[in-house]
Amino acid sequence: MRRIEGDWFPGGIPDNVEVQEGAYIETASSFSRFRSLRPSAVRMGKNSSAYAGCMFDLGPDAELDVGPWTLFNGLWVIADAKVSIGAFGLISWNVVVMDCYRVVHDIDARRRQLEAFAASRDLNLLSRHSASDAPRPVVIEDNVWIGFDCCILPGVRIGSGSVVGARSVVATDVPANCLAAGNPARVVRNLGAEERQHG
């Protein structure tokens, strides 16, 4: 556990979180739901940043890999397997990236799960999956910009250079170098020569 200087939150950064040179984590409150036991649970790449409001809600077997220069401003990662985010990513407020729904579909089994959770408040009880709701890793490639309030759902891959409009819900893969938006998100257009010329 490493304390962050001046942090208002009483906790620290867990030992299995690698914070590379120049990377910044504003507050350890982002780890208040963090339970991963993986030796390398989180890798915050060089010069990446995670500001207050981020939440790394990682179950016991989850990993999060963040490339260099990627910026999170209030991202919620809900992971029980793996979320990978490449370099130069821009992830806005209240974006949820989830590799699992954490829902037991059988209602009686879910009731037992919630009763056990109320007795212990052990968040790991909510990270147990049956074969039908197994987590599916999420991959966000390099240089992806995700607007505020988006949800990126389990199993999705977003190609490099793409942009996801605000409040979109991304349920299927997004190819590289395009603009996707909507709920459910669809490709609106390609980001081609014009954008490269005029920024």
Query: Active-site residues: which are they?
Result: 105
Query: 42 phi and psi, to 5 degrees?
Result: -130, 135
Measured CA to CA, the distance from residue 73 to residue 139 in angstroms comes to 18
Residue range at the interface with other proteins (CB under 8 A); choices 8-16, 20-28, 60-68, 116-124: 116-124
Tell me whether residue 105 or residue 196 sits nearer to other proteins (CB atom).
105
Q: How far is the CB of 77 from other proteins (least distance, A)?
A: 11
Q: Which of 169, 176, 187, 191 binds other proteins (CB under 8 A)?
A: 169
As beta bridge partners, residue 90 has: 71, 145
Q: Which of 15, 24, 40, 111 binds other proteins (CB under 8 A)?
A: 111
Q: Does 28 bind other proteins (CB under 8 A)?
A: no
Q: How far is the CB of 30 from other proteins (least distance, A)?
A: 13
| Residue type at position 84 | S
Residues 40-79 close enough to bind other proteins by CB under 8 A: 55, 76, 78
Sheet holding 49-50, edge to edge: 24-25, 49-50, 71-72, 90-91, 145-146, 163-164, 178-182, 185-190
Residues 73-102 close enough to bind other proteins by CB under 8 A: 76, 78, 94, 96, 98, 101
- Asked if omega into 184 is within 30° of 0 (cis), the reply is yes
Residue 74: alpha-carbon gap to chain centroid: 10
| Number of shown-chain residues binding other proteins (CB under 8 A) | 33
Q: How far is the CB of 47 from other proteins (least distance, A)?
A: 27
What three-state secondary structure class fits 119? helix
